[in-house]
């Protein structure tokens, strides 16, 4: 428990990904089996108990401390588990000499402990632990443990230890169970790669590189296929003997949020792995990303959401069919397999992503720029003979996004960044002019924290510090004197902002020191141009 | 006890006609220690340990540290008016003292700030039996049972080994915390040069002048960026997350303070490696000390007095709050303000 608690504490305060990785690697190397396996389960979010309720913690603490002292302490600390962990005083020396329980011991004991016995066991454990282990224990036992490292990061750490790609871990992951003995054995070279044949495991997807600094003239149009790039979220639908899954491209299982898609997969009963785009589709029309966002924000949707925001899938590719791995086949062949599978089953909620016919890339470019409809981000170019390769290989697939939209906005507020940027004002809230009752004022339309170079960041930081008019904690309000050209992918109406609009993927395209703030764009012109 | 009075200027000893750590300039001030909320400039006559006087001169300049200064070694007894007065070590920072006063067969002790945990850079706290004990209560809540500082130093050194390509910058205030950290690092076997922010160096020289060895110290302000990679840098808390820290290669921000014991406080400061190291008595030390003095009556000057008074009451000891305004709940804050 002590090693795990130390890791938790360190992860909670470390913003840097590389440091988290180093800490995880150290932990996975030093911690024994099966403790480390349960720690991994905790990171994957699959270790959760509800053995004790807050009232039980409070009652236990009250056996050792005066209620008034407890109340003052809780008031100061603000977190019940932390208060109890800090305030707890081991009863006697004999208890202190007892070793703190390991994480696995805690998990195994809780698995079969009758509710009535929990206080006794917990009291003994608390006596044997130090404050930081008590904190971890109490968080675990009340089901409120949060680990400052994602499952993906933990898998990356394991992959680095094993000198394999994170995707190799991903391929076997969803067929494994805590405490992952077989996985650790494989990683340490003491066992075979775990076999996941009947489990609905995730297959790392193939991603495209952005089409930049590439000479299209050298491409032979006959060797390339074009599809629309849809503005939804990329998903993998898996149906295997042991069940169905909906994964995001980062292996997150989002099936619970999309029971409509899962049900469709179950009804089909076809053993496949499909690659596609998840969208909200109403009467065959793709809805805005904002609509999809509403579904994504809900762990499990209400009946009315399922009715008003129905999920649909644009199918891009097929990876497996009845246990056969299609990934080594060329794109054209996989496309035929996808089309014939689709024709055979005619699956509801799904449509095939259209292949766009084109003679040359000039025509295609025109088509790309004319397509401003909801849900289209640009084009995908796929080489006709490309196998399905995990990761983001350069060459076979390209994403050819529309030129970004831009607006000239005025910086209004700035906030410090995180981690390496914590000494810089690197998050900027910007706004546009609006005239109400003859008064011209700025209204914020968004926030940007990327797109600039290190040099530009230094300039912006200094500008913010030199032009601060007010401070609210970490936020500074600045004089209205700096124009930023903001690039964004789409604009939409939004009730969350005072301006009534919101941007998708806003970033700083240019610092317009040449432009006076009064000449920045107006909200009216913005709405006219983009909405 | 009716011969100690609370006046707007601070705590006043009537038969000796002097103030203890007064908040405003007075004719005669007896000073517990050099932190800026306790030692203020502009008094006429100042009585304190030689170390505290020396610290006051360094921080305020000769002319503002008292028109006349009277150095008193620990245990050296003098008479001031009708009062017998001497100083006893408080274990807080170099030169820190408890003020012991005897009058008409009664003894009162004013602790100033103090701690019971070992500190290689100052004389350990001495329990002085008394009738009235005036205590601080900075960490006067039972959640403040602070860990062994050696354990916290171990955390830092482990991190330095794990991330040799990064620079660990530890926030600590200039008087006491800084030198204690250095001494703890040396005791833990760390003998590399330490890099110090310019604001910390003069006080370290002063400590060394009193015979406290700190090993090799270098100026971080004068260093080339690459030189400090993999090293440990000490800087005032206000500098660690600000522009000053940009000169450091890939810094890991650490902060040494008793407040780091509570996660929310550590989070709020944006600290990556909180180190729970305090120069104040923790909860157990407060209760133990109050009991050990045998005092029937305890006055609490500053901090979280309500919990301490409540707990003392359960032990049959009468406590009351002086609610001295002007002392910071947090030396750290006072020291930061003094530097700004
Ligand atoms: Zn102090
Ligand atoms: Zn103080």
Round to whole Å and give the CA distance between A88 and A65.
8
Task: Check residue B276 and give its pLDDT.
Answer: 96
B316 and B238 fall within a common domain: no
Give tens-digit pLDDT for A462-515: 999 999 998 887 789 999 999 999 999 888 888 777 888 989 889 999 999 888
Q: Residue A36 domain-assigned? A: no
B126 within 8 A of B295, measured Cβ to Cβ: no
B189 and B82 fall within a common domain: no
A355 and A432 fall within a common domain: no
Q: Residue B314 domain-assigned? A: yes
Q: Residue B87 domain-assigned? A: yes
Kindly state the helix (H) or strand (E) to which residue B70 belongs, with its residue range: strand B68-71
Picking from A3, A69, A78 by the largest number of B CB atoms within 10 A of its own CB, the best residue to mutate is: A69
C-beta atoms of A82 and B262 within 8 A: yes
Provide the pLDDT confidence category of residue B254 given band limits of 50, 70 and 90: very high
Q: Residue A194 domain-assigned? A: no
Give tens-digit pLDDT for B172-223: 999 999 999 999 999 999 999 999 999 999 999 999 999 999 999 999 988 9
B49 and B76 fall within a common domain: yes
Q: Residue A502 domain-assigned? A: yes
Number of domain units in chain A: 2
- Distance to chain A for B123, nearest Cα, Å: 29
Distance B333 CA to ligand 2 centre (A): 10
B13 and B133 fall within a common domain: yes
Task: Check residue B268 and give its pLDDT.
Answer: 83
Q: Residue A289 domain-assigned? A: yes
B228 within 8 A of B220, measured Cβ to Cβ: yes
Range of the domain at A444: 405-530
A426 and A449 fall within a common domain: yes
The domain that holds A382 is classified in CATH as: 3.30.470.30
B156 and B133 fall within a common domain: no
Q: Residue B322 domain-assigned? A: yes
Predicted TM-score (pTM) of this structure: 0.78
B90 and B218 fall within a common domain: no
A392 and A430 fall within a common domain: no
ipTM of the prediction: 0.93
List A406's β-bridge partners, or say none: A487
B194 within 8 A of B182, measured Cβ to Cβ: yes
Dihedral (Cα; B149, B154, B159, B161), 10-degree rounding = 150
Last residue of a domain, one of A371, A401, A431: A401
- C-alpha to C-alpha distances, B179 to B73, B154, B235, B274, nearest whole angstrom: 21, 17, 12, 18
Q: Residue B53 domain-assigned? A: yes
Residue A413 above 60 pLDDT? yes
Q: Residue B287 domain-assigned? A: yes
- Residue B246 touches chain A, beta carbons under 8 Å: yes
C-beta atoms of B307 and A14 within 8 A: no
A424 and A329 fall within a common domain: no
3-state DSSP helix/strand/coil % of chain B, to nearest 5? 30, 25, 45
- C-alpha to C-alpha distances, A375 to A287, A353, A504, nearest whole angstrom: 7, 13, 12
B8 and B139 fall within a common domain: yes
Give tens-digit pLDDT for A51-101: 888 999 999 999 999 999 999 999 999 999 999 999 998 876 655 567 889
Whether a cis peptide bond, with omega within 30° of 0, leads into A34 is yes
Question: For chain B, how big is the Rg over CA atoms in Å?
Answer: 20
Residue tagged 């008292």 (tokens): B66
- Residue A296 touches chain B, beta carbons under 8 Å: no
- For the ranges A288-302, A365-379, B273-287, the maximum mean pLDDT occurs at B273-287
- Output the six-digit token pair for B26: 């007075």
B-chain residues within 8 Å CB-CB of A70?
142
Nearest to B50 by CA among B33, B29, B25: B33
B129 and B205 fall within a common domain: no
B62 and B187 fall within a common domain: no
Q: What is the 3-state secondary structure (H, E, C) of B161-208?
A: HHCCCCEEEEECCCCCHHHHHHHHHHHCCCCCCEEECHHHHHHHHHHH
Q: Residue B293 domain-assigned? A: yes
B101 and B77 fall within a common domain: yes
Round to whole Å and give the CA distance between A318 and B183.
65
Mean pLDDT across chain A: 90
Range of the domain at B68: 4-143+279-330
Last residue of a domain, one of A401, A420, A454: A401
Number of domain units in chain B: 2
Mean pLDDT across chain B: 92
Task: Check residue B339 and give its pLDDT.
Answer: 42
Q: Residue A487 domain-assigned? A: yes
The domain that holds A447 is classified in CATH as: 2.40.50.140
Phi, psi (degrees; rounded to nearest 5) at B162: -70, -30
Greater confidence (B254 vs A288) lies with: B254
Q: Residue B336 domain-assigned? A: no
**A373, burial (CB in 10 Å: exposed 0-12, middle 13-18, buried 19+):** exposed
A326 and A344 fall within a common domain: yes
Q: Residue A136 domain-assigned? A: no
Last residue of a domain, one of A377, A401, A425: A401
Round to whole Å and give the CA distance between A167 and A391.
8
A-chain residues within 8 Å CB-CB of B163?
19, 22
Phi, psi (degrees; rounded to nearest 5) at A220: -90, 115
Helix (H, G, I), strand (E, B), or coil: what is residue A279? strand
A338 and A364 fall within a common domain: yes
Q: Residue A477 domain-assigned? A: yes
B118 and B186 fall within a common domain: no
Give tens-digit pLDDT for A331-384: 999 999 999 999 999 999 999 999 999 999 988 888 887 776 667 878 999 999
The domain that holds B292 is classified in CATH as: 3.60.15.10
A381 and A414 fall within a common domain: no
A348 and A414 fall within a common domain: no
**Catalytically annotated residues of A:** 229
C-beta atoms of A131 and B246 within 8 A: no
Distance B280 CA to ligand 2 centre (A): 9
The domain that holds B199 is classified in CATH as: 3.40.50
Last residue of a domain, one of B234, B251, B275: B275
| Minimum Cα–Cα distance from B242: chain A residue | A423
A218 and A331 fall within a common domain: yes
A366 and A279 fall within a common domain: yes
Task: Check residue A218 and give its pLDDT.
Answer: 87
A240 and A366 fall within a common domain: yes
| Max Cα-Cα span within chain B | 65
Task: Check residue A217 and give its pLDDT.
Answer: 84
Angle at A470 between CA A483 and CA A451, to 5 degrees: 35
C-beta atoms of A72 and B304 within 8 A: yes
B257 and B304 fall within a common domain: no
C-beta atoms of B264 and A22 within 8 A: no
Q: Residue A99 domain-assigned? A: no
Residue among A22, A26, A83 minimizing CB distance to B143: A83
A340 and A409 fall within a common domain: no
């Amino acid at each position: 428990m002590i090693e795990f608690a130390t890791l938790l504490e360190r992860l909670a305060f470390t913003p840097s990904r590389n440091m988290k990785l180093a800490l995880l690697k150290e932990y996975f190397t030093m911690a024994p089996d099966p403790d480390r396996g349960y720690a991994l389960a905790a990171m994957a979010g699959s270790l959760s108990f509800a053995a004790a309720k807050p009232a039980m913690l409070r009652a236990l603490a009250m056996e050792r401390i005066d209620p008034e002292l407890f109340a003052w302490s809780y008031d100061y600390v603000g977190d019940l588990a932390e208060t109890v962990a800090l305030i707890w005083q081991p009863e006697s020396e004999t208890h202190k000499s007892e070793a703190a329980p390991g994480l696995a011991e805690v998990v195994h004991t809780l698995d079969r402990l009758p509710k009535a016995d929990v206080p006794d066991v917990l009291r003994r454990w608390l006596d044997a632990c130090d404050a930081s282990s008590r904190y971890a224990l109490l968080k675990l036992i009340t089901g409120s443990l949060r680990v400052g490292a994602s499952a993906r990061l933990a898998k990356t750490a394991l992959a680095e230890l094993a000198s394999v790609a994170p995707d190799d871990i991903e391929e076997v992951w969803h067929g494994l169970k805590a405490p992952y003995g077989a996985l650790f054995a494989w990683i340490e070279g003491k066992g075979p790669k775990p076999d996941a044949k009947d489990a609905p495991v995730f297959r790392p997807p193939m991603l495209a590189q952005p089409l930049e600094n590439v000479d299209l003239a050298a491409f032979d149009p006959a060797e390339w296929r074009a599809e629309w790039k849809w503005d939804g979220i990329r998903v993998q639908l898996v149906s295997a003997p042991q069940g169905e899954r909906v994964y995001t491209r980062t292996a997150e299982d989002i099936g619970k949020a999309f029971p409509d898609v899962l049900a469709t997969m179950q009804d089909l009963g076809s053993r496949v792995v499909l690659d596609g785009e998840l969208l909200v589709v109403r009467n065959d029309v793709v809805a805005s990303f904002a609509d999809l966002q509403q579904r994504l924000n809900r762990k499990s949707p209400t009946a009315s959401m399922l009715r008003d925001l129905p999920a649909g899938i644009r199918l891009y590719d097929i990876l497996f069919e009845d246990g056969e791995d299609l990934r080594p086949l060329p794109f054209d062949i996989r496309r035929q397999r996808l089309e014939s599978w689709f024709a055979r089953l005619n699956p509801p909620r799904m449509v095939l992503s259209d292949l766009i016919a084109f003679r040359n890339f000039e025509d295609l470019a025109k088509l790309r720029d004319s397509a401003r409809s909801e849900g289209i981000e640009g084009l995908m170019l796929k080489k006709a003979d490309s196998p399905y390769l995990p990761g983001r290989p350069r060459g076979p697939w390209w994403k050819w996004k529309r030129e970004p939209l831009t607006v000239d906005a005025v910086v209004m507020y700035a906030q410090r960044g995180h981690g390496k940027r914590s000494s810089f004002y690197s998050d900027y809230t910007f706004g546009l002019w609006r005239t109400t009752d003859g008064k011209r004022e700025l209204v914020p339309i968004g926030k940007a924290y990327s797109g600039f170079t290190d040099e530009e960041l230094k300039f912006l930081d200094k500008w913010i510090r030199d032009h601060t008019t007010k401070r609210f904690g970490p936020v500074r309000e600045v004089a209205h004197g700096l124009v930023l050209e903001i690039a964004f992918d789409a604009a939409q109406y939004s009730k969350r902002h005072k301006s009534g609009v919101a941007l998708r993927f806003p970033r700083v395209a240019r610092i317009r020191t040449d432009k006076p703030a009064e000449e920045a764009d107006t909200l009216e012109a913005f709405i006219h141009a983009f909405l | 006890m009716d011969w100690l009075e609370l006046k707007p200027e601070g705590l006043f000893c009537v038969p000796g006609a002097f103030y203890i750590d007064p908040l405003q300039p007075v004719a005669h001030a007896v000073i517990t220690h050099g932190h800026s909320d306790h030692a203020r400039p502009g008094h006429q006559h100042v009585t304190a340990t030689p170390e505290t006087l020396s610290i006051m001169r360094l921080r305020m300049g000769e002319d503002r540290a008292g028109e006349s200064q009277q150095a008193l070694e620990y245990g050296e007894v003098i008479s001031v008016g009708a009062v017998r007065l001497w100083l006893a070590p408080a274990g807080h920072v170099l030169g820190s003292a408890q003020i012991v006063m005897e009058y008409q067969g009664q003894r009162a002790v004013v602790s100033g700030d103090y701690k019971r945990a070992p500190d290689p850079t100052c004389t350990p706290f001495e329990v002085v039996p008394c009738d009235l004990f005036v205590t601080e209560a900075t960490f006067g809540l039972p959640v403040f049972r602070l860990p062994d500082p050696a354990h916290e130093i171990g955390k830092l050194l482990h991190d330095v080994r794990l991330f040799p390509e990064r620079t660990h910058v530890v926030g600590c205030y200039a008087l006491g915390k800084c030198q204690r950290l250095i001494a703890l690092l040396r005791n833990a076997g760390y003998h590399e040069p330490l890099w110090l922010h310019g604001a910390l160096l003069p006080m370290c020289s002063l400590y060394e002048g009193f015979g406290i060895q700190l090993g090799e110290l270098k100026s971080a302000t004068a260093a080339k960026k690459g030189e400090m990679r993999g090293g440990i840098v000490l800087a005032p808390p206000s500098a660690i997350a600000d522009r000053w820290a940009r000169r450091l290669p890939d810094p890991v921000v650490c902060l040494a303070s008793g407040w780091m014991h509570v996660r929310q406080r550590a989070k709020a400061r944006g600290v990556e490696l909180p180190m729970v190291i305090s120069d104040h008595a923790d909860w157990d030390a407060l209760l133990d000390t109050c009991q050990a003095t045998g005092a029937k009556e305890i006055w609490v000057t500053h901090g979280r007095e309500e919990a301490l008074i409540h707990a003392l009451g359960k032990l049959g000891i009468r406590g009351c709050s002086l609610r001295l305004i002007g002392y910071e709940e947090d030396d750290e804050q006072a020291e930061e303000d003094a530097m700004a």
